[in-house]
Amino acid sequence: MALDRAAMRTVIRGTGMYVPPDRVDNHRLSRVMDTSHEWIVQRTGIEARHYARPAVATSDLAVPAARAAIADAGLDLADIDYVVFATMTPDVYFPGSAPYFQRKIGLRDVPCLDIRQQCAGFVYGLQLADGMIRAGAYRNVLVIGAEVHCGFMPWKCWDVLLDGVERQLTPEEFAENTSYRDRLALFGDGAGAFVLCAQGECAAGEPPRGVLDCVLHTRGELAEKLYTPGGGSAFRPYFSAEMAARGETVPIVEGREVFRHAVTLMPEVVGELLGRNRLTIDDLDLVVMHQANLRINEAVQQRLGLPCTKVFNNIQRYGNTTAATIPMAYHEARQAGHGRPGDLICFVGLGSGLNWGALLYRC
């Protein structure tokens, strides 16, 4: 049934999240590479992360997160008429994770779309869902951000990490892990989901609610600041044992450059979004940033002049879960009492591409 486009607005009706049960803290990581709890916390703010077991795929984590969001929305699975699935770690090279998710959760033959904007993927997904709802094409859109990063991690010591086996790694294995420590300490596995729904316009005199506006950007000239150098159509074959041996399937993160761009571009896009809506930073009640590095978020907070009461971070517990960080953080922020009716919230993220953007939402 076609919807009245002129009267449509997009609201977040439900949220949910899921992380695999195996929690790996920094002390456990220090058993398999040359690092320490203090070293990791000082540079990233991360204290622990969760890892999926072998054979657990990204779509598997998405199912309980989506079920939780649908239940929170007070809807049934049959009410969902579109799925946007943001991930950089699909179950297999193709198809994406969305069809596998659809099959596993038991969803009927509704469109299921994968998008690949990495750490900015969830903001991109929200804009897509809002556009489809405002166009009158769909009424209840499920937006998922989910990742299993374990697949690209070069660990050969899962028994130590997941099962607590007491064994000494060989010097070669320990040295190989240490050579990737700046990245291996960052990533965790998890999933988050929003149910976005169509609602009519507010009554006369009430402030506009729902998704108010979104600004997105891409700067391809910076793509190699954060990317995976091996694998894909630029190579013959797509993947090879030699790529893995050279570590080319592990992401490259130029930490200082990513930090510099993140602490500049994220405040700028928040200011751009507020400015074109004739709002100021003081109007915001909460900012939910992509959880890549606590030091980045603290620097962005400082540049924006935000008090701690208007920022929510949970990277300390989960690490960087890429497309899942924003929905996971907002879900926990709601549980902590944020997101009250009338609150003005800004979601903002930056990631590989470079892709970045911000979305303004009033509860």
Which residues participate in catalysis according to the annotation?
119, 290, 320
User: Burial code of 265-298, b = ≥16 C-beta within 10 A, e = fewer?
Assistant: bbbebbbebbeeeebeeeebbbbbbbbbbbbbbb
Please name the residues in contact with 89: beta carbons below 8 A apart, sequence gap of 6 or more.
Answer: 58, 147, 148, 149, 151, 152, 322
Do residues 145 and 290 touch, judged by C-beta distance below 8 A? no
HSE of 97, CA atoms in CB hemisphere, 13 A: 25
Instruction: Give the separation between CA 185 and CA 21, rounded to whole angstroms.
Output: 18
Q: Rg of the chain over CA atoms, in angstroms?
A: 20
Q: How many CB atoms lie within 10 A of CB 205?
A: 5
Do strands 210-218 and 226-227 pair parallel, antiparallel, or not at all (unpaired)? unpaired
Helix (H, G, I), strand (E, B) or coil at 130: helix
Tokens representing residue 219 in the block: 């700067």
Any bridge partners for residue 14, and if so which? 195
Q: Quick one: angle between helices 97-105 and 58-72, nearest 10? A: 60
